[in-house]
Amino acid sequence: MEDLTAARRWTALLALSLGGFGIGLTEFVAMGLLPDISQDLLPRLYSQSPEKAVAHGGWMITAYALGVVVGAPTIAALTARLPRKTLVVGLLGLFTAGTVASAVAPGFSLVLVARFVAALPHGAYFGAAGLLAAAILGPGSQAKGFAAVLGGLTAANVFGVPLITRLGQAAGWRAAYLAIAAMFALTLLFVAATVPHQPADPSGSPRAELRAFRSPQVWLVAVTAAVGFGGFFAIDSYIAPVTTQVAGLGAGAVPWVLVAVGLGMTVGNALGGWASDRDLRRSLLSGFVIFIVSMAAFALLAQNRYTLFLGAFFLGAAGLFLGPAMQSRLIGVAPGAQLMGAAVSQSSMNIANSLGAALGGLVIAAGWGYIAPSWVGVGLGAVGLVLALASFTLESRKSRRSAETLAQPDLQPTR
């Protein structure tokens, strides 16, 4: 990559992080507007049972997550020879089109399809943009590069999602998605103008990227992220009814609870990027422990209108502390396939999104209340911690066996 002035470097990083900002809007605004969307698209069911309509509306979140799961590895493999800036610009164009389709689709089924399509570029964007950001920052900054792009997503949760949620409550949820589409279009122009060109990887190929899936560790770490992070989405997907039905606050308080989550995510993401570049193993394992504690705390704190905000902040901070660590871990176990490793991380996080939203919806629909997803999250986080420990244990054993093999003397007789 060409030498950059400090101003050019930070402008390019800002442009890439704005893509993360737009993704944060399109992914998380549904959580705050889920009751409005369910009432508009499922009016008959909503009139009979708002809880069941909201739980059914959660499939909109699940459809987006499944789109990420499908799109991330597919796009990573098919675009392995593309320069990463070209790929990022193309993905922003697809985001724009898919989000417009989400806003204008006439019924619930077509909205689900549009959300699936809009999600296809999600994982590949974070992978390609994160690698570009790491290259711009220089050697030894892999986790910080991904944290910079994820920082846009966390910033979206601080003020973007609450503002768009407020717009959706006032002007309708479709207006909210049209505003997000405009954000993607502006980001495309900003990236095209400011991000430096990076030549395509000469060794990149679909076969090389797909080779990552031969590694058992890739599968194990992917499952760790998919299961372990599911608790965040089990809780966050239903943050609006928790605010209004459990804590007893009005609908106008929902954006402020989202601000608390977003502030926590911003702090957690920054700390996670710094800590992961220093000691990845310690960051990941300690991060899971803190994450489990945060979800249990949320179940208790969310029942009071004042402590709800503290619980929301703690949940966001603990959850996003794991983000850069999981991203770096997957890249580390997929040598020679960095883009695929980064993309698979996003697929895993969105399997977590799908799994968490679906399980949260199931326990709510079963009549266990809006706090029940927090305890589902505690269980999922505990499984993630066990899987992370297993991954590092297997890696250590393999390293010891390799070292012992190299240390054995050559006992072949000489002639």
Specify the CATH number for the domain of residue 33: 1.20.1250.20
Closest CA to 118 of 178, 195, 55: 178
Taking residues 14-29, report their average pLDDT.
91
Instruction: State mean pLDDT over 71-100.
Output: 89
pLDDT for residue 130: 84
- CA separation for the pair 213, 70 (Å, rounded): 15
pLDDT > 60? residue 383: yes
Evaluate whether residue 121 is within a structural domain: yes
Pull the structure tokens for residue 193.
């103008």
Q: What is the pLDDT of residue 414?
A: 47
- Containing structural domain, residue 355: 6-397
For residue 1, pLDDT beyond 60: no
Interatomic CA distance for residues 314 and 293, integer angstroms: 9
CA atoms of 145 and 125, how far apart (whole Å): 13
Residue 350 falls inside a structural domain: yes
Rounded to an integer, what distance in angstroms lies between the CA atom of residue 146 and that of residue 68? Answer: 17
State yes or no: pLDDT of 200 exceeds 80. Answer: no
Judge if pTM exceeds 0.75: no
Give the SS3 label for residue 167: helix
Does 335 reside within a domain?
A: yes
Place of tokens 């297997």: 394
Cα–Cα separations (whole angstroms), residue 369 to 6, 267, 294, 301, 349: 51, 30, 19, 15, 25
Give the distance from CA 33 to its chain's centroid.
19
Give 107's DSSP letter.
S
In a domain, 290, yes or no: yes
pLDDT of residue 2: 60
Residue 405 included in any domain: no
Confirm whether 403 is domain-assigned: no
Condensed to tens digits (0 to 9), the pLDDT of residues 297-356 reads 999 999 888 899 999 999 999 998 988 888 778 777 776 666 777 777 777 887 887 788
Least confident of 24-38, 56-70, 91-105, 130-144: 130-144
> How wide is the angle at C-alpha 323 spanned by C-alphas 306 and 75, nearest 5°?
130
Residues 6+ positions from 173 with CB-CB distance below 8 Å: 33, 36, 37, 40
Nearest to 316 by CA among 331, 300, 297, 303: 297
> What is the number of residues in the chain?
415
Q: What is the pLDDT of residue 140?
A: 62
Question: What pLDDT is recorded for position 411?
Answer: 47
- Asked if residue 86 is part of any domain, the answer here is yes
Q: In the prediction, which pLDDT does 116 show?
A: 94
Each residue's pLDDT tens digit, 175-185: 999 999 999 99
Residue 415 lies in a domain: no
Number of structural domains found in the chain: 1
Between CA 156 and CA 172 the distance in angstroms is 19
Average pLDDT over all residues of the chain: 85
Q: What is the DSSP letter of 83?
A: -
Amino acid at site 117: V
